[in-house]
Structure 1
């Protein structure tokens, strides 16, 4: 595992998302180092993670904080409610060192199962909301409605994550007035991608310069989802 360290390039912000499946790969092994290698390869400025914490007890981090500090150029935004988790309901955000964070917070979401989203606003005003929506469409609709209701400046906002929606447009009605929905590509299942479950929605003040899915051999083993990225 190598440390990625580089100066910021003059380009659009690269926002990425990755459901790391609690660092358990398709071979059944929990390998945080493998996950970090995938993250380093994304060349992102901000990364929203899903399933970053274990499910039971105090929900300890699936990837230790000290490994992130030692082996990446990212810092963990302090979104957790305790000192053992990386995030809130498994949603965590990493920001490249040198980027200032003006505000961060948790968003409790409604639905049939406990879910939450996280919000991080950079010093330049760009707001990134990381999500992992529910398994039921009626829950996902309510969750997106709750997120949309809390977005005060949607033109500067990116909503990104595992949205768990197999349909191309259905289920995203709550975002249609203020956001443009994009699918970077098929991200699930990593072994044979057939569904674009991981999406990004951009406020109308933001433009999409490029987007894609990391289909590298390493990413195909590290989790059951492939990472997505968007240059905005």
Structure 2
């Protein structure tokens, strides 16, 4: 069995006092007990997050063996002088950034990253519209049951464009090894993501907003020989405006010992 977690962390902001505390965020993720964890809205060296590397704080607390951080934006994203640009994905670790992270307790055979199409164009550092750039991060994880391709992403909040991005990503992943799971805040309510991709939804509980969830926009979609071993849970960690999603899965022959 492998525990999957997806969590939009809202740059680590507490819903109780509005503060950002990297240690509190790290403790919240540790408490979820994930073997593979996808995080969205992850700051690195941003003033609003106390100049912290949030992904590193979580990695240190969880003790995972494999991890990657993928910026969508590089540069300061808020405050005086903020002028973020679309990240290339290979920025040095000292550059302030905002993006997603993927962590695994199990070995990873292969990593790759994907830049998703944007709704409004960027001309170098100049953005000709309000939409943020979006990315996806993929890994072939060696679970105890066998290899599992895990893809983490955070799609646009634009109603039409997130559907375009999801269709594009599903096509892009046609050649990826199966079984496969897609984790993340898709900003598309259930059951639409399953209809768009043709993949099976493993989350059937509302995830947003945290205090009184009414809709499911944080998803785990499965394709191939991987199944949930029980119902997914939406967990209120006290951090972020989203609930974290936890689901246990078995891969291939792990379904039937």
Q: TM-score, normalised by structure 2?
A: 0.73
Aligned to 1:77: 67
Aligned to 2:232: 212
Q: How far did residue 93 of structure 1 move?
A: 0.5
Take 1:149 and 1:55, find their aligned partners in 2: how far apart are those partners?
Answer: 34
Aligned to 1:3: none
Structure 2, unaligned stretches of length 5 or more?
A: 71-89, 120-130, 250-257
- Matching residue within 131, 138, 156 for 1:119: 138
SS at match of 1:183: coil
Q: How far did residue 56 of structure 1 move?
A: 6.8
CA displacement, residues 141-184 of structure 1 (integer Å, 9 cap, x when unaligned): 22112221222246310001111123x323554311xx212324
SS at match of 2:178: helix
Distance 1:77 1:111, change over 3 A: same
Q: How far did residue 139 of structure 1 move?
A: 1.3
Q: How far did residue 83 of structure 1 move?
A: 3.8
- Matching residue within 116, 126, 132 for 1:109: 116
SS at match of 1:14: strand
Structure 1, unaligned stretches of length 5 or more?
A: 1-11
Distance 1:69 1:132, change over 3 A: closer
- Matching residue within 154, 160, 175 for 1:138: 160
Q: How far did residue 69 of structure 1 move?
A: 4.5
Take 1:201 and 1:82, find their aligned partners in 2: how far apart are those partners?
Answer: 30
Pairing 1:25–2:14 present? yes
Take 2:61 and 2:46, find their aligned partners in 1: how far apart are those partners?
Answer: 27
- Matching residue within 176, 181, 189 for 2:201: 181
Asked whether the 8 Å contact 1:111–1:140 carries over to 2, the reply is: no
Report the number of matched residues.
211
Q: TM-score, normalised by structure 1?
A: 0.80
Take 1:55 and 1:136, find their aligned partners in 2: how far apart are those partners?
Answer: 27
Pairing 1:155–2:178 present? yes
Take 1:121 and 1:196, find their aligned partners in 2: how far apart are those partners?
Answer: 26
Asked whether the 8 Å contact 1:61–1:84 carries over to 2, the reply is: no
Aligned to 2:104: 95
Distance 1:110 1:94, change over 3 A: same
Take 2:45 and 2:54, find their aligned partners in 1: how far apart are those partners?
Answer: 13
Q: Which has the higher strand share?
A: 2
Structure showing greater radius of gyration is 2
